[in-house]
Amino acid sequence: MNINKKNRGLTFLETIVSIAIILIVSSFLFYKIIDYNEKKDLQINRHLIQNIFIKYTNKSFYQKRRYLLEMDLKNKILVVKNQNNEIIEKFNFPLKLKYEIPYENIRNPYFKVETTKTGNLSKAFTLYIFGYKEQVENRIAFYTFQKEKILKLNIYLNQNVKNIYYKNIIEYHYSQDGQNRIGWVEEE
């Protein structure tokens, strides 16, 4: 009779061990999925921003018109307006990411820049993109040169920049490491 009782099913201990293994594997997969989604959001967002700026600086150059690009970084929106201040396009950034443009030593949650008729921007600036944990992940530098009539835009990926978060990005941006782009690699 004892032999039949043992073969009826899993013991309590076997059930607990099985559940623990399933939970460990599930949590590992959960973090991998979050990491994948973060990388996907960062990549899509980098290329979206790059394409918008290239599109409208090129349009400015060929049509000899100015466009206003307004970034509302708190609400994660980029709006493109024509010379009559009419909205042409509106883009939404991924909500889980954070953004900052250090300009004139302050945070700029609402940032405006115009395209020039020569296909450039009215001012140079750097946009930082932060991951889900507010660690800086990407840096997009917009350069304006008087001699060049086209936009110069560089995208940098965080290779080994540590302890730079949303809360201390202003100090970092104006530091020697920030100015020299130490720890960043340019995206190809």
Q: How far is CA 44 from CA 39, 47, 51, in A?
A: 9, 5, 10
Q: Is 174 exposed, middle or buried (0-12, 13-18, 19+ CB in 10 A)?
A: exposed
Mean pLDDT of the chain: 90
Residue bearing the bigger pLDDT, 145 or 159: 159
pTM for the full predicted model:
0.85
Provide the pLDDT for residue 90.
Answer: 97
The mean per-residue pLDDT over the stretch 78-92 comes to: 96
| Beta carbons of 119 and 144 less than 8 angstroms apart | no
The rounded percent of the chain whose pLDDT value lies above 90 is 71
How many whole angstroms separate alpha carbon 136 and alpha carbon 144?
Answer: 24
Can you give the pLDDT at residue 119? Answer: 87
Which of these, 97, 105, 148, 95, lies nearest to 126 by C-alpha position? Answer: 105
pLDDT tens track for 7-47: 566 788 888 988 999 999 988 899 899 999 999 999 999 99
* Cα separation, 151 vs 136, whole angstroms: 24
The domain at 2-186 falls in which architecture?
A: 3-Layer(bab) Sandwich (3.55)
Confidence of residue 1 (pLDDT cuts 50, 70, 90): very low
Overall average pLDDT of the 170-175 stretch: 93
Cα separation, 21 vs 23, in Å, equals 5
- Per-residue pLDDT of 108-148, as tens digits, reads 999 999 999 888 999 999 999 999 999 999 999 998 876 55
In the chain, where the domains are located = 2-186
Measured from the Cβ of residue 87, the count of other Cβ atoms closer than 10 Å reads 11
- What was the pLDDT predicted at 9? 64
Q: What share of the chain is helix, strand, coil (3-state, %, to 5)?
A: 35, 30, 35
Percentage of residues in the chain having pLDDT higher than 70: 93
